[in-house]
Chains A and B, each alone.
Chain A
Amino acid sequence: MAAPEPGEGQASAAAPALRGERGGTSIDRDAERALVLAAQRGDAQSFSALVRLHQQRAYAVARAVLLTHEDAEDAVQEGFLHAYRALDRFRPDQPFGAWLHRIVSNAALDLARRRKVRDTDELAETHASPFRDPGESDELRRALDRALATLPSRQRAVLVLHDVEGYKHAEIGQMLGIPEGTARSDLHHARAAMRAALAPLRPAAS
């Protein structure tokens, strides 16, 4: 997979919850730029600091595309590896996060294509996150797993990136390499499919 060219990812206005505060990691642009410059000079500690800053959001992006926690982690690792390889082509005046998320989403989409051969039922039994919400019932969890597994990976990614992670349509379009209008229609179709799949569990809400 080829990493995006530097400067292609301009999306920077992520939702407030996504500005790096999750997990207590945040950094201003100048400090991040200094880390990028040092990493480009070969400083491993600086690249490690960039990993620490961005891995949680990268995981969220990968998890939006992929059905399992393990696959999401694989995609995050692949994404950072691609980012490292392409680091000398990244322009430090660009937002590193947006560039990285495009790489991670591409890695996740590649992995999703390879995983497509898996049987949906098998996935529903095996991909439960080890970090599940204890308040989530097993029945709802299985239903969500099955419903998400029936969505095309791009629709699933748009749904999660928009509704769960708070990205805007333009940002999602840039991240996934699709027009903004396509992201909107994908979101519409994904919501409809999820509502239909979950309707038996929530008759009062329908």
Chain B
Amino acid sequence: MRYDDDRDPTLTLQLRAHLRPPADPGYWDGLEGRIMARVASEAGFAPASPPTDAGWWEPFVEWRRAGLAAAVAALVMVAAGLWQASHVEPELAYDVVVQSPPAAYGAPDRPAASRGDLLGDLLGY
């Protein structure tokens, strides 16, 4: 008799039902975590954290690096802007002083008084 001739479909179905593996995905997540914990304790690296319920921030985790780069770029731009502004403002103030008409020298509001006139005013002459 050939060994392959004694198939038993009923027995096969019963065994498949009897030895059915866990269907809960949570079980497999847990088993993966337990395996990695054992491997980690042997290898000395930190175990991969088992999957947990995703928080509201989870979708943004992958953007962490891009966000960090954008923040650094923004800081650089702000710093450059502040630096530029701190140099431009004195220049402008200086320009105002330099380029304003020399009113104080060319057109006094009142005639310049001599030291003697001022003293006369004070002493009641």
Interface residues of A (CB under 8 A from B): 22-23, 42, 44-45, 47-48, 51-52, 55-56, 59-60, 63-64, 69, 73, 76-77, 80-81, 84-85, 129-133, 135-136, 140-141, 144-145, 159-160, 163-164, 184-185, 187-188, 191-192, 194-195, 198, 202, 205
Contact = CB atoms under 8 A, between A and B. Distances in A.
A51 B8 contact: no
Interface string B8-34: 101110111111111111011001101
Interface of B: 3-4, 6-8, 10-12, 14-25, 27-28, 31-32, 34-36, 38-40, 42-43, 45-48
A81 B18 contact: no
Given A140-B14, A194-B11, A76 B45 contact: no
B15 A163 contact: yes
Q: Secondary structure at chain A's binding surface: helix, strand, loop or mixed? A: helix
Contacts of B47: 44
B32 A23 contact: no
A131 B39 contact: no
Given A55-B31, A188-B3, A160 B39 contact: no
A2 B19 CA distance: 28
Nearest to A23: B28
From B3, B4, B16, B43, residue with most partner A Cβ within 10 Å: B3
Nearest to A186: B3
Contacts of B14: 136, 140, 144, 198
Contacts of B20: 129, 131-133
Given A129-B20, A131-B21, A133-B20, A56 B43 contact: no
Contact of B25 (A23, A45, A76): A23
Contacts of B31: 55, 59, 73, 76-77
A63 B14 CA distance: 15
A136 B39 contact: no
Contacts of B3: 184-185, 187-188
A48 B32 contact: yes
B46 A44 contact: yes
B28 A42 contact: no
Contacts of B27: 131
A149 B88 CA distance: 90
B19 A160 contact: yes
A63 B7 CA distance: 21
Given A77-B35, A160-B15, A191-B11, 17 more contacts: A22-B21, A44-B36, A44-B46, A44-B48, A52-B32, A55-B28, A55-B31, A59-B21, A63-B19, A80-B38, A84-B39, A129-B19, A131-B21, A131-B23, A136-B17, A141-B18, A185-B3
A77 B8 CA distance: 32
